Structure 1
Amino acid sequence: MKTKYVFIAFAVTALLQAFAPLKMVYDNEMTVSHGTVYKFKTEPIDPSDPFRGKYVSLNFEENILRVKDTVWQSNEQVYALLSINAAGFAKITAITKTRPQTGNDYIVVKTNYYFDGSLHINLPFDRFYMEEGKAQEAEDSYRDYSRQENTKPAYALVAVKEGNVVVTDVIVDGQPIRNYVLRKREE
């Protein structure tokens, strides 16, 4: 009889452990397939994480906001409402401490610090992982690209759905960064 309960407890535990990563994958897939894609202007650099691999670190223009409210705590979870500006890039239109109603595109962000009417925030997506051999080339190519006059802006394509975000690609010179690196190899 005890063996039966141990087996049931084991089966329930195994199902719960399988459910968590499957739910995360499902949420990300739903965000990519049904979410709104925003273009966030960025400047990539290439650090390395020995546990997670090579990635392009992303810094964004949309991480400093002018706000009227002066009561902000560091590392506070808040919600940033999104829209698209005239140039087609993502713009944070408002910051709120309460979760927006369904129908509004928003992302969950953390406050960094407030100073002189500006709220500095940390966006939840700051890395784009790449194949090991291309990450350093991506950094080098982007550095050369950014030094040129009259270049198109680099940006990250970020799918957003109900606060969930997924970086789907980084665009440099109007093309995915992988293709840009391959083109640079051929030159």
Structure 2
Amino acid sequence: MKIALVVLVCLVQLAVPASIIYSYEDTLSKGTEYRFKVRPVDPADPFRGRYVRLGFDEENTRDRVIPMPGIESIPKKQRFAFASIAVGEDGLAKVVAVTGAPPQSGDYIKVKTTVYSNKLYRINFPFDRYYAEESKAPNIENVVFNTRNLGEERLITAQVFINQGRGVISELYVDGQTIHDFLDEK
């Protein structure tokens, strides 16, 4: 009886990370590719390994409000919503509407919402980290952070695959070139 219980606990412990990995890989293989414009965010967490923390232009901030049709209809106490995604004229992903329930058609992301006032909301994408090899992460962070702060006119985008409300970042681009190729040329 005790052996069966130990085996059951071990299987459950293996099933949880396996399901997370499966969800991630499923999104990468079946999801639709979008490019989101990235803005720098300075990470400060030594416990999560080497990564580059990203902010996205399509997320609202307190100082910059983007009109989002439908967001005002979401109850203030509701902490999650669904952002419908489409490709804009510039080829970049855009949030075209935010609803309280998953849309019947099209790609969408389940986002966290925060209400500041009747008309001021913030949405946060569930993806905000680009993991990189330990030796390359500081250089990638410098490129992303310094592009805006030093006045360089470079377009930094994140390739995100979206499937059934989930989004997974697969690559960063600098002016259409992968971040790794960009760093190799420097």
Query: Which category describes the TM-score, using the shorter chain as reference length?
Result: 0.7 to 0.9
Q: CA RMSD in A?
A: 2.3
Which of the numbers 17, 24, 27 marks the counterpart of 2:20?
Answer: 24
Which residue in 2 is equivalent to 1:80?
A: 83
Distance 1:8 1:85 in 2: 55
Distance 1:49 1:61 in 2: 22
Choose 1 or 2 for highest CA Rg: 1
TM-score between both structures, scaled by the size of structure 1: 0.83
Percent of pairs identical after alignment?
Answer: 35
* Structure 1 residues 177 and 75: CA distance shift in structure 2, 3 A: farther
Which residue in 1 is equivalent to 2:131?
A: 129
| Letter matched to residue 82 of structure 2 | Y
Q: Which runs of 5+ in 2 are unaligned?
A: 61-65
Distance 2:121 2:93 in 1: 17
* Structure 1 residues 19 and 142: CA distance shift in structure 2, 3 A: closer
CA-CA distance at 1:158 after TM superposition: 0.7
Distance 2:75 2:116 in 1: 6
Distance 1:18 1:98 in 2: 32
| Letter matched to residue 24 of structure 2 | N
Determine which structure has the larger strand proportion and give its number: 1
Distance 1:62 1:26 in 2: 27
Which residue in 1 is equivalent to 2:63?
A: none
Distance 2:81 2:146 in 1: 36
Distance 1:18 1:46 in 2: 34
Determine which structure has the larger helix proportion and give its number: 1
TM-score between both structures, scaled by the size of structure 2: 0.83
CA-CA distance at 1:9 after TM superposition: 1.8
CA-CA distance at 1:88 after TM superposition: 1.1
